[in-house]
Structure 1
Amino acid sequence: MKVITQVTRDEWRFWHRTKLATTILVIGTLLTIISAIVNTIEIEHAAHEREHLQQTSEAQFLEQPDRHPHRMVHYGHYVFRTPSPLSIIEPGVDAFTGTSIFLEGHRQNSAMFSDQRQASGMTRFSSLTPSFLLQVLVPLFIILIGYASVTREKEAGTLHIIITQGANLWHLLLGKYFALVSSGLLMLLPLVIAAIWATFTGESLLVTSSFVIGYVLYILVWSGIVLTVSALSNKNGASFATLVGLWIVFCILIPRIGSSSAAAIAPSLGKLEADFAVVEELRKLGDGHDAADPAFEQLKKNLLKKYNVDKVEDLPINFRGTVAQYSEAKLTKVLNKFAEQRMQEELSQAKIARQFGWLTPTSAIRSFSMIIAGTSLETHHRFLREAEDLRFDFVQSLNKVHQDNLNYQADMNRHKDDKAARVNADNWQVLSSFSFEPDTPKTRLSRSILYGFQLIFWAALVCFSLRFAVRRIS
């Protein structure tokens, strides 16, 4: 152990003398610190802003004056998804999926206000989140620091001398490996501090610990890759070129190929095609605004028979409100069918892309990171489902008010006497409060197990590669 510690110290001394490694370490650490601070401020501001907007939206809905209940159905309501504590490090899909939905009767709107959808193409590359830096740039920094770890000993002839003097080659490589790992962990330090902050702001300690461990594994893997290539190469130039090539393949090409392959293997309908399919299906249901639509003839007959009357004017309930309820239920069933189909297609594509974590550690840590942080596609889909549940609940509650609290004749004559076709504003209390929370720690951890195994697989592969490199040198 003494030899390993000495080699690690010597490596750090060499980096200090050359200045290049020191400069890279300072730049890398500063970038991650600044990114973590800026992202934390932005996320905290977004969280407070969305909470305020949610409360404002609910207050505005409840403060509406006496109105026709169907006007409130179309007045609608906004819901906002507050970011999870760990999104200060890993924003995940949030920047692409949107964080707010306008809820109204007769339709399901898409999430709005996604940063990347509203940004220009170049803006996407300026978003240096902590997760992006750690997943993509920190491996490059480790390469720049350690590509010559073993090859410089070969070029200087000192490696052969060390071996002939009886030094254990494993001790030499482990010392250099620990030096590389410590440099990576130094750049990982801002993530650890941000994870501690997330714990104090409500995140589970088990989740934040697992999150940090995943990134530590990632640093171990890249440090091992750098050391293995350096040990197998004979020249600094060859080692550097090989490692940069691997970085391009692992961090850029394979993740991109993964997303493209997922779209090809599990294709989904385009928005225009999907919208046409929904419209075509909804046409069969009838127009819920028109109680005389033939689609509701059977409903009318059933109600007349149930209440033993001859015409809708004699019903003890407002037939128009009943039609609104019946139509909304049928329409929502159709909309949910298409929404679930779309979400399943998106999830299938995501799961296919995640399998590329067996081909690159970058995809593995990205999947692991998003799922643990609660910013994955599954979380976004749950937000959509919970928002839809709220939409259906308050719309149907207003339709029930329409049915039970508004006279049919006054409703029919609403264009002549608008005031008579209004109900008391106390009826707007049907709106439930909306507060979206991340998935439970148990759920997130169970979902991330496969991608944790991918990281472990890469760690084992690196260990095997190092053994192979030691045999080659010996």
Structure 2
Amino acid sequence: MSPNNLSKIIIVAKDEWRYWLRSKLAISVMAIGLLLTLSSVIVTSIDMMELSHARHELQDNAEETFVDQPDRHPHRMVHYGHYAFRTPAPLSILDPGIDAYTGNSIFLEGHRQNSAMFADQKQGTALTQLGSLTPAFILQTLAPLLLILIGYSSVSRERESQTLTYLLSQGTSGNTLILGKGLALLSVIGLILAPLAVAALISLHDGESITAVFAFILGYGLYLSVWALLVLFFSSALSKNSESFTALAFVWILLCVVMPRVASTTAATSVPSAGKLETDFAVIAELRKLGDGHNAADPAFDKLKASLLEKYNVDSIEQLPINYRGVIASSAEAELTHVLNEFAEQRMQTELSQTHVSRQFGWLSPMVAIRSLSMLVVGTSIETHHRFLREAEALRFEFVQALNKVHVEKLSYEDDMNRNKDAAATQKARVGAENWQVLEDFNFEVDKAKQRMQRSLAAFLQLLLWIVLLVVAIRTIGKRLI
């Protein structure tokens, strides 16, 4: 590009800004966009910092409460349970992702896999859900509309006012004119992204990777650039302001409202999932085949009983050097956990398959692409939630089996069997509170930045394809601009 053309592009951009500064609509729209972005960044940042602090404190309290329990029967502690909390990712101040829908804590107890609890969107009313204006929602949904309101007449205005012919006759090519208008729109995008960039950089203080921060800002820069190009395309292709605005409004509704719904509906239809009631019945049917871990006389454990008698060369379970009831509890928990994990993995694979189908619509809608990219880069995607479920389940199984080991080794079979005989027998069937030191510190963290970047690569490619196609289309129109 020659210096002469560059200077013309800058002159066109400055002239566009002069027009906007004289326009009450453009000034109002830019002010609203900046105010919304800035306020949402501040409010969401405060909320996420409070959540992070609260969840850290609750996790510590849960661990202290567990280990501070008095002398009990070991199996009572299995049912007493424990909590696992997921602290927000550093960049979740900008995009909470699916965290608001999936829940942030799990109650862990023996014989059960509970689902995550306390999802903000599930607890809120319809009005509070609509009022959740996160920075990601504003940039994904409202910022494109603001760009349309500012730039829909950028080129068509010149044609309507009959200044386009004059500009072209003065040696300003169609592509130069469009580039100048585009430069002005890019500067508006820079203003909108400024609060987001500052907040993203602040997340570095909380341990976020510079790679993730850069990718996050770049992703939204590409997304808004797609919309700037769409604005330029329709404003250049259509001869009237009203036509340009109508077409862009329709495109916004199609890409930002309709296509995400179509994507989710298609995913649910193409990869059907079993309902909760159906799954619960299937789980119950499988668990019934395992035997009752609370009943040492259950025939399902006859083989285990025989193997123990043979191993220790004794004639009855009363002669075993270990507590047979504790062995049964431990074995039953392992088998039960295996079955529950199989069903959990099936459910998670179904959810992941549905998500992958939905993400393919990013080739058809930049809104779907940026939504996927944003959650993947931040670490608030379905993959991160699934890892939280797996790590919480590993914690559950570990502490339950540790308590079962106490049951096996620290409590005699005779005392265990006679625990309900009288008050003295009940007291004798308890073990010391020092045995509750079985918990590992649980501190869930998002995936490494490299892994998040790999997952988001397809979404980046989707946005880049949109940009390439729109640039080619605009260049073609620019050559024919009259």
TM-score normalised by the chain length of structure 2: 0.97
Distance in 2 (alpha carbons) for counterparts of 1:50 and 1:58? 12
Deviation string, structure 1 residues 68-107 (Cα, Å, up to 9, x no partner): 0000000000010000000000100000000000000001
Distance in 2 (alpha carbons) for counterparts of 1:233 and 1:199? 45
Q: Does 1:150 align with 2:158?
A: no
Deviation string, structure 1 residues 20-66 (Cα, Å, up to 9, x no partner): 10110001000000000000000000000000000000000000011
Q: What is the match of residue 15 of structure 1?
A: 20
Q: What is the match of residue 388 of structure 1?
A: 393
The one of 228, 236, 241 equivalent to 1:236 is 241
Distance in 2 (alpha carbons) for counterparts of 1:178 and 1:422? 75
Measured after TM superposition, the shift of residue 464 of structure 1 is 1.3
Measured after TM superposition, the shift of residue 448 of structure 1 is 0.8
Structure 1: segments with no counterpart, 5+ residues: none
Distance in 2 (alpha carbons) for counterparts of 1:244 and 1:472? 25
Measured after TM superposition, the shift of residue 473 of structure 1 is 1.6
Measured after TM superposition, the shift of residue 113 of structure 1 is 0.3
Distance in 1 (alpha carbons) for counterparts of 2:248 and 2:480? 19
* Contact kept in structure 2, 1:313 and 1:408, CA below 8 Å: yes
Measured after TM superposition, the shift of residue 471 of structure 1 is 3.2
The one of 113, 118, 122 equivalent to 2:123 is 118
In terms of mean alpha carbon deviation, does 129-138 or 196-205 score higher?
Answer: 196-205
Q: What is the match of residue 266 of structure 1?
A: 271
The one of 346, 350, 360 equivalent to 1:355 is 360
Q: What is the match of residue 439 of structure 1?
A: 447
Q: Does 1:54 align with 2:59?
A: yes
Q: What is the match of residue 481 of structure 2?
A: 473
Partner secondary structure for residue 133 of structure 1: helix
Q: Does 1:286 align with 2:291?
A: yes
Q: Does 1:307 align with 2:315?
A: no
Distance in 2 (alpha carbons) for counterparts of 1:405 and 1:38? 52
Distance in 2 (alpha carbons) for counterparts of 1:242 and 1:368? 27
* Contact kept in structure 1, 2:366 and 2:462, CA below 8 Å: yes
Q: What is the match of residue 332 of structure 1?
A: 337
Distance in 2 (alpha carbons) for counterparts of 1:181 and 1:257? 30
The one of 92, 100, 107 equivalent to 1:102 is 107
Q: What is the match of residue 70 of structure 2?
A: 65
* Contact kept in structure 1, 2:97 and 2:375, CA below 8 Å: yes
* Contact kept in structure 1, 2:175 and 2:479, CA below 8 Å: no
* Contact kept in structure 2, 1:232 and 1:472, CA below 8 Å: no
Distance in 2 (alpha carbons) for counterparts of 1:467 and 1:255? 29
Q: What is the match of residue 420 of structure 1?
A: 428
Q: What is the match of residue 472 of structure 2?
A: 464
One-letter identity of the residue aligned with 2:443: S
The one of 201, 209, 224 equivalent to 1:196 is 201
Partner secondary structure for residue 83 of structure 2: strand
The one of 459, 463, 477 equivalent to 1:455 is 463
Partner secondary structure for residue 338 of structure 2: helix
Q: What is the match of residue 367 of structure 1?
A: 372
Q: Does 1:400 align with 2:405?
A: yes
Q: What is the match of residue 3 of structure 2?
A: none
Deviation string, structure 1 residues 298-353 (Cα, Å, up to 9, x no partner): 11111111111111000000000000000000000000000000000000001100
Q: What does residue range 82-231 of structure 1 map to in structure 2 within 5 Å?
A: 82-231=87-236
Partner secondary structure for residue 443 of structure 2: coil
Partner secondary structure for residue 473 of structure 1: coil
Measured after TM superposition, the shift of residue 465 of structure 1 is 1.6
- Output the aligned Cα RMSD: 0.8
Deviation string, structure 1 residues 338-391 (Cα, Å, up to 9, x no partner): 000000000000110000000011110110000000000000000000000000
Distance in 2 (alpha carbons) for counterparts of 1:59 and 1:38? 32
* Contact kept in structure 2, 1:185 and 1:219, CA below 8 Å: no
Structure 2: segments with no counterpart, 5+ residues: 1-5
Q: What does residue range 20-39 of structure 1 map to in structure 2 within 5 Å?
A: 20-39=25-44
TM-score normalised by the chain length of structure 1: 0.99
Deviation string, structure 1 residues 204-237 (Cα, Å, up to 9, x no partner): 0111011101111111111000010000011110
Partner secondary structure for residue 65 of structure 1: coil
Q: Does 1:77 align with 2:76?
A: no
Partner secondary structure for residue 84 of structure 2: strand
In terms of mean alpha carbon deviation, does 416-425 or 314-323 score higher?
Answer: 416-425
In terms of mean alpha carbon deviation, does 375-384 or 213-222 score higher?
Answer: 213-222
Q: What is the percentage of aligned positions where both structures have the same residue?
A: 56
One-letter identity of the residue aligned with 1:195: A
Aligned length: 474
